[in-house]
Structure 1
Amino acid sequence: MSQAKLDGSKSEGGASFSEAARAAVEALLAPVDAELTRRYPGDDGSRQPVHTVYVPADAFAADTVRSWGAQALAAFDAHAATPAQLALALGVADDELLADVHARVRAKLEREPVEDLRIDFEDGYGPRPDAEEDAAAVRAAQLVAAAAVADGTAPPYIGIRIKCMEAAVRDRGIRTLELFLATLLAEGGLPAGLVLTLPKVTYAEQVTALVRLLADFEQRAGLPAGRIGFEIQIETTQAILGADGRATVARMIEAAEGRATGLHYGTFDYSASCGVGAAYQSMDHPVADHAKAVMQVAAAGTGVRLSDGSTNVVPTGPTAQVHAAWKLHHDLVRRSLARAYYQGWDMHPAHLPTRYVAVYSFYREGLAAASARLAAYVAKAGGDVMDEPATARALSGYLLRGLDCGAVDPAEVTELTGLDRKQLDALAGR
């Protein structure tokens, strides 16, 4: 179509859209355009951790990350010292890919065993005398500041889970948050990877309450507005479906006013709230799949990330018992990854080997195919699959996630795709 026709000249049939009609369309859709931009900004391009490790506040120490890494390596070496032993544990093929994954996972456990750490003042900590929790909140902040600000030994992401906003524990949770943040400021400032977690949310107003507190703290501390974000834990049925029949989780994202960084599924609390018996509470139960599907749709395009829950089957004891727990964990993590839940919770050091084996296998198995499809898309060369721009974004995002966690290397991605990190970011819409 010629530029003249785009500018409003008559078409070959002698008719055209009037300038008034076009102006009316612009006036009608301008608020919609603004709303789409506000509500659906997309991913911010920062690294998403593959997991969150939970440690009770009273058990958190300066060497927690190092200790978890050492325990994870000890379990790996004791029960899967070779690729063949790992293949036996997981019921997979002992091949060249697994040998590569085995070596990469061992290096990961030595280099960066924990990507995200949450110091738990909620279920993992429980009710304590006020003086005891006050001291624990200050101590946690001092340790975080020492690791994140002073010596750089903290994981990329670190923070606390406070008690929820329900009346019985609200004051205690607010007090702990206040002490933790104030101490961080006094010890050198808020770390770049600071993450807060709000559990057991049932009403959007509880999210609004935390927003108001954080905004007040930022103003009084001279921090930029919106500096402090937080995750919302989805652990109750009311968080998925409200009494009015609406999807509450979408209202919670809106109530966060841009501060929500993630939605984390709470396997056991949510399953229990649905009446699921203890023996059947799992990440792959139908009630879990329903909740996570609702979370996924609510978060799509908003920049709010998703995290699956955990398994409570701990890989300890004799080798056969460890292997059984590892296979369960590995298969659950792979299931989550296939469903676009790229993060989950790990509750024990011996879960780390299978977390990384599952994640690394997921990205390395699909590396060649994803790279070929993306290269063909960029070259407009077609290939076996004709991909759309949305799929190119997904392919780029897949490769970027693999790069971020160390499953794939920049050089091999560039060799396979002809693209560097900056170009991948652009294709991913970052």
Structure 2
Amino acid sequence: MEDLAAELARELDSRLAAEDDALVASFPGDRRGRQPVHTVYVPADRYDADLTRTWGEQARQAMADHDAILRECLGAAADDLVPRVEDKLRREPIEDLRIDFEDGYGTRPDEVEDADVARAAKALAASQGDASRPASYGIRFKSFERPTRERGLATVVGFVDHLLAAGGRLDGFVVTLPKVTAVAQVEAMALACERIEGAHGLAPGTLRFEVQVETPQSILGPDGTALVARMIHAAPGRVVGLHYGTYDYSAFCGIAAPYQSLEHPAADHAKAVMQAAAAGTGVRLSDGSSNILPVGDTEQVRRAWALHLRLVRRSLERGFYQGWDLHPAHLPTRYAATYAFYRDGFGDAAERLQRYAARGEGGILDEPATARALADFLVRGLECGALGENEAVTASGMTVTDLTALARPARA
């Protein structure tokens, strides 16, 4: 029987070799490295090299102006969270930045947009020497739909030209492809990246992009399939993210403006499809934004902050670890909600990892997949600053290296 098993194993290895290779290529596992907790969108005409610092200052000022409101919203955790958020806003107020040439910027004469492209690219290059610069950054340009295709291409080509000419770097650079309705548009974006790289002598794969899921066609194609799944695999190595577009998607679905929200059932359906499509591919997910700004009188700020705290927490609980922020006063609640999420779950996750290492002692026998999720929870908390290395190592009994290896294994 042993000879039969060995013979069958060799035969099946040969029979399944192509499928084994395809699985590794298409589903390599989670990408290593930090995922930002948010993406800040700034209209291109409002961007300058000092934007990260000024947003941090404005966010801290909002905290100071409305300290009592923020503490009321945070409840008993306020004394722990407020100093952590203030420290984060001094060190790294923005983790990921998009200079927006699309909806946030609008339609302008070509010469105006060309001038803003040149100015913003030079400003980005100048900002790259700043210690508080975002870890990742890029642009959103107009879509590849026929009416805006040429303008969008002119913007992305021109921006890379001006950025490199000004001595800027492309490490951490990502572009956002909006309003995607067809797999062919993703393939076209990959072609554009290849041609731009060739024109500048850049290494293949230097330019990467996110697919913005803000049309129903990207979720359900005319043939009844989930096109977003095919989009991920249409440009392997270049598609690095799926970003949900709250208001365009809702509007295209016919949802009335007062009910367009991150928590509408149509939004949850779209994001569930995105989540299933991206699982195991290394492509990261981002939720969308809230258009309710924490500005105005005391009651307006209270309502906006309470809503934002709830929406960010809701996204985190559903496995969307990133979202959009549109205003400096969103930053305090972005970080407060994120830090609270990881600190609330920290003790239980660390204890369960210790039990897992002890093979179930203590009454819980977690599966290996759950252990990976527990380790990933701690690693994400470390990466965003919610947890300290010493407390995570002490509580879990594992080094950061071991936690990371457990959280994000490569598929063999």
Please give the alpha-carbon distance, in whole angstroms, between the structure 1 residues aligned to 2:310 and 2:187.
Answer: 37
What do the CA deviations read for 1:183-235 (whole angstroms, capped 9, x no partner)? 22222243321111000000010010010011112123221111111111000
Please give the alpha-carbon distance, in whole angstroms, between the structure 2 residues aligned to 1:69 and 1:385.
Answer: 43
Q: CA RMSD in A?
A: 1.4
What do the CA deviations read for 1:55-85 (whole angstroms, capped 9, x no partner)? 000000122111111111111111125xxx4
**Do residues 321 (structure 1) and 305 (structure 2) align?**
no
C-alpha displacement of 1:421: 1.6
Is 1:181–1:190's contact at 8 Å kept on the other side of the alignment?
A: no
**Do residues 208 (structure 1) and 187 (structure 2) align?**
yes
Going from structure 1 to structure 2, the CA distance change for 1:126 and 1:417 (only over 3 Å counts) comes to same
Residue in 1 that maps onto 2:326:
347
Residue in 2 that maps onto 1:171:
150
Is 2:49–2:123's contact at 8 Å kept on the other side of the alignment?
A: yes
1:149-298 matches, within 5 Å, as: 150-298=129-277
**Do residues 141 (structure 1) and 127 (structure 2) align?**
no
What do the CA deviations read for 1:269-315 (whole angstroms, capped 9, x no partner)? 00000000000000000000000000000000000000000111111
State the TM-score, normalized to the length of structure 2.
Answer: 0.96
C-alpha displacement of 1:384: 3.0
Please give the alpha-carbon distance, in whole angstroms, between the structure 1 residues aligned to 2:36 and 2:390.
Answer: 22
Q: Which amino acid aligns with 1:208?
A: E
Structure 1: 5+ residue stretches without partners: 10-15
State the TM-score, normalized to the length of structure 1.
Answer: 0.92
Please give the alpha-carbon distance, in whole angstroms, between the structure 2 residues aligned to 1:179 and 1:108.
Answer: 34
**Do residues 74 (structure 1) and 61 (structure 2) align?**
yes
Is 2:92–2:133's contact at 8 Å kept on the other side of the alignment?
A: no
Which of 83, 87, 101 is equivalent to 1:121?
101
Please give the alpha-carbon distance, in whole angstroms, between the structure 2 residues aligned to 1:320 and 1:18.
Answer: 72
C-alpha displacement of 1:241: 0.1
Which of 67, 80, 85 is equivalent to 1:105?
85
Residue in 1 that maps onto 2:70:
86
Please give the alpha-carbon distance, in whole angstroms, between the structure 2 residues aligned to 1:324 and 1:261.
Answer: 34
Residue in 2 that maps onto 1:13:
none
Residue in 2 that maps onto 1:52:
39
Residue in 2 that maps onto 1:362:
341
Please give the alpha-carbon distance, in whole angstroms, between the structure 2 residues aligned to 1:60 and 1:288.
Answer: 30
C-alpha displacement of 1:340: 0.2
Q: Which amino acid aligns with 1:113?
A: P
Going from structure 1 to structure 2, the CA distance change for 1:17 and 1:156 (only over 3 Å counts) comes to closer
Is 1:52–1:115's contact at 8 Å kept on the other side of the alignment?
A: yes
Q: Which of structure 1's runs of 4+ aligned residues deviate more than 4 A?
A: none
Residue in 2 that maps onto 1:399:
378
Is 1:145–1:191's contact at 8 Å kept on the other side of the alignment?
A: no
Please give the alpha-carbon distance, in whole angstroms, between the structure 2 residues aligned to 1:156 and 1:36.
Answer: 31
Q: What secondary structure sits across from 2:16 in the alignment?
A: helix
Please give the alpha-carbon distance, in whole angstroms, between the structure 2 residues aligned to 1:347 and 1:179.
Answer: 25
Residue in 2 that maps onto 1:132:
112
Residue in 2 that maps onto 1:32:
19
C-alpha displacement of 1:383: 2.2
